[in-house]
Structure 1
Amino acid sequence: MSISAFRKGAAAIAMTATLAGCMSGPAPSNYETALYAPQQLGTGRAGHPRGDWVQATPVARGAPACDWRVPRELDNYRRARVEEFADINAPLAPGDRVSIRVIGDPDGLSGTYVVASDGTVDLRGIAPTRAVGGSPEMLQDRLRARLVAANLVRPLRNAVSVSLIEAAGVSVAVSGAVFEPHAVRAGERSPELRSVAAGGIAGDDNTGRTVSAAIRAAGGVRPDADVQRVYLIREGRYVALDLSGLVHGWASQDIPVTTGDRILVPSRRCFDAGLVRPTPLTPPGIRVYMSNLTRSANNNAGAAIGEKTTSLPYGTRLLQALVAANCVGGSYMQSDRRAVLISRNRINGRSVVVERDIETLVRDATRDADDPYLMPGDAIACYDSRWTNLSEAIGVVSQGLGAVTPAILLDNAL
């Protein structure tokens, strides 16, 4: 190989690499039904500086015709009034501790009892008495009737008294427009708190045994949730609860739950930015995956990406997370970078990838329309600027020339 031929080849390689370094990768492709929020579509210049997005779905457009319908599975249940559920204050559940006192008790029936897993309380001399789903007053009436029928007490009005000592955690199934639909334990307490409750203090108020607490335990409501119609299903009946007050700061219909309850949060099939913030119904924070493997930061540890930066308050937008990932700022040659947001449509499960020019997003006044909210489990990746790519391309060519030069010298010597 002659030196002249080598120089021509090297020049071609250098030009190709230089052009490749200045070019940007193709815009991410998404299915039309993958878009979840209006900010993912991008309506301003900051949203899609390269290429056009596909047409948005009604969910992404935030169309006024938000869907609402009664879930068909409720056809199998009878609708009840809220008072039928709310009148029962803190329904008893398995694991609850109750104090039972019997007047003139020569048989030692008085004491502290734990509601069994089958929902009953077992006193000597009578059959197990059902306690689950009712109030302590209901259990008191049932015990009095049975003890009187068994001739163990006189038919006095105050022959038996029942009071709650400790309200244990309960199992509740949560489904619908929540981030983690599954069976949860609402109001579960640590052993330390349970030992305090067992110290003879009468009465208990387990604030974790409510509809809102069960929804939070299931990850909180999604932005498409209908918080004005949350359905609580219990023993063949259901009731519609308006929990919007917990989001907007006024009175709501949050009521206690018991074992076996089901909570169904319907979807409106449209994005409500008012639900993307910490509230009693939404998650306080989210975990986001970040990658900033750039020339200025060769690894995530060097980019100061750790547990505290990837755990963000709910309501954080892409640009704020890019600052946490050290993708914003620096020299101008390195600041012209791009970022992608990898998310998922929470309604149909389709993945969506959003690309943004970081510097355009910082400087353009339309940034709010193009700056997506982050959802739990989203991922962010930063790409090098064109200048950094050019520098890398020149470095690769220089390395190639350095490796080939000894071979050329040896070929000319021969």
Structure 2
Amino acid sequence: MASSASVCNSQTPRELEAYRHARIDEFAAQTAPLAPGDRLSVRILGDADRLSGTYVVDTDGTVRLRGISPTRAGGGSLDAFATSLREKLVAEGIVKPLRNAVNVALIESGGVPVAVTGAVFQAQAVRIGERTADSRIGLKEGDSSGDANGARSVAAAIRAAGGVRPDADVQRVYLIRGQAYVELDLSGLVHGQSAQDVAVTAGDRIMVPSRSCFDAKLARLTPLTPPGIRVYMSNLTRSANNNAGAAIGKDTTSLPYGTRLLQALVAANCVGGSYMQSDRRAVLISRNPINGRSMVIERDIEKLVRGADRDAYDPYLMPGDAIACYDSRWTNLSEAVGLISQGISTVTPAILLDSAL
């Protein structure tokens, strides 16, 4: 996607009319609500090992202490769970009604499922904040208290959904929890500043609106954009008999986000060589991330290299784009496009947008 639309427009999703607009401090509490997978340390006054121990919040949001009915924890605060558990144990005559009869501490925040929709590359339900076996807290050093799981945040969920597209409105990102929502300004993460990032919990939903125009500031590596992109390349005309001979491998086709077409052509060994090949051309098959429309762009490689105003017609690459180089004297455009289409295993109607250069 190479250029910006003339008009940028961002509208509040109508779906939000059904929810209460909450203050950000309601969601930005010191700790996120408990969620399935969280590990808790429960200590009962006067109890050595019958009830005291380490417990995991179950998939239904409850904690099951031995010998008593499940106690609701998921979706509420740590203090609320401790109060509810204390009241249950007092009512059943297991503990005396003392203030410090039950002590509950968070050992580890587990991974949580979050739905991300809108102007992201892979709108879907994602699971964030998972720990590997080696990074689990409290397994080696014993029970600890508190856990700052930085991977359980709005920004982390957006990255897990492929990152924001260049048309995203990062100044107005919506986090929906229960029957309420908050509006977050995450633009600081794009400009190297602080932002209103909020911890998320199971069942949260994140909506990223589109501004309906291209923002080059979002076509580069940031904490909200994808770290890299996968691009399909073909350099199989007269310059090479196969991709291995053209030095096109895994590392070549995995490019940093923010890469432009000319940079990718260099990586594909489409730039340089003898004067006999100085009239080579390249085609880019892409898909507009805003409307999903397939498009084909053709460029004269030599003019792209030498043009002082190349940034005006040197497009940024998007995830899943495909590039082919061909010698205009011996290979026509339809053959080059055919090579790419076979490489990405798809046949889509392509519209030639610009072949003037």
Equivalent AA in structure 1 for residue 317 of structure 2: L
Report the CA distance between 1:117 and its aligned residue: 0.5
Report the CA distance between 1:242 and its aligned residue: 0.9
**SS of equivalent to 1:245:** helix
Written as runs of structure 1 = structure 2, the 5 A alignment for 1:4-403 is 36-38=1-3, 60=4, 62-63=5-6, 65-105=7-47, 108-124=50-66, 126-194=68-136, 196-199=137-140, 200-202=142-144, 203-386=146-329
**SS of equivalent to 2:242:** coil
User: For the Cα contact (< 8 Å) 2:2–2:314, is it kept in 1?
Assistant: no
After TM superposition, the score normalised by the length of structure 2 is 0.88
C-alpha distance in 2, partners of 1:84/1:91?
Answer: 11
Report the CA distance between 1:204 and its aligned residue: 2.2
Listed as ranges, the gaps of 5+ residues in structure 2 are 333-357
**SS of equivalent to 1:171:** strand
C-alpha distance in 2, partners of 1:329/1:107?
Answer: 74
C-alpha distance in 2, partners of 1:92/1:160?
Answer: 18
Partner of 2:338: none
C-alpha distance in 2, partners of 1:274/1:350?
Answer: 22
Report the CA distance between 1:109 and its aligned residue: 1.3
C-alpha distance in 2, partners of 1:302/1:265?
Answer: 43
**Superposed CA offset, 1:24-59 (max 9, x none):** xxxxxxxxxxxx541xxxxxxxxxxxxxxxxxxxxx
User: For the Cα contact (< 8 Å) 1:86–1:256, is it kept in 2?
Assistant: yes
User: For the Cα contact (< 8 Å) 1:333–1:385, is it kept in 2?
Assistant: no
Report the CA distance between 1:260 and its aligned residue: 0.7
Q: Is the strand fraction higher in 1 or 2? A: 2
**SS of equivalent to 1:259:** coil
Work out the percentage of aligned pairs sharing the same amino acid: 72
Q: Is the helix fraction higher in 1 or 2? A: 1
After TM superposition, the score normalised by the length of structure 1 is 0.77
C-alpha distance in 2, partners of 1:197/1:264?
Answer: 34
Q: 1:37 to 1:364 in 2, by over 3 A?
A: closer
C-alpha distance in 1, partners of 2:296/2:178?
Answer: 44
Report the CA distance between 1:88 and its aligned residue: 5.0
**SS of equivalent to 1:355:** strand
Report the CA distance between 1:389 and its aligned residue: 6.0
Report the CA distance between 1:86 and its aligned residue: 0.8
Report the CA distance between 1:279 and its aligned residue: 1.1
Give me the CA root mean square deviation.
Answer: 1.7
C-alpha distance in 2, partners of 1:312/1:100?
Answer: 48
User: For the Cα contact (< 8 Å) 1:234–1:262, is it kept in 2?
Assistant: yes
User: For the Cα contact (< 8 Å) 1:334–1:385, is it kept in 2?
Assistant: no
C-alpha distance in 2, partners of 1:88/1:259?
Answer: 17
**SS of equivalent to 1:134:** coil
Q: 1:381 to 1:162 in 2, by over 3 A?
A: same
Structure whose alpha-carbon radius of gyration is higher: 1
Report the CA distance between 1:295 and its aligned residue: 1.3
Report the CA distance between 1:145 and its aligned residue: 2.1
C-alpha distance in 1, partners of 2:79/2:212?
Answer: 43
User: For the Cα contact (< 8 Å) 1:166–1:198, is it kept in 2?
Assistant: no
**SS of equivalent to 1:112:** strand
Report the CA distance between 1:238 and its aligned residue: 0.9
**Superposed CA offset, 1:343-362 (max 9, x none):** 00112211011111000011
Name the count of aligned residue pairs.
Answer: 330
| Higher RCO, 1 vs 2 (CA within 8 Å, ≥6 residues apart) | 1
C-alpha distance in 2, partners of 1:381/1:37?
Answer: 17
User: For the Cα contact (< 8 Å) 2:237–2:331, is it kept in 1?
Assistant: no
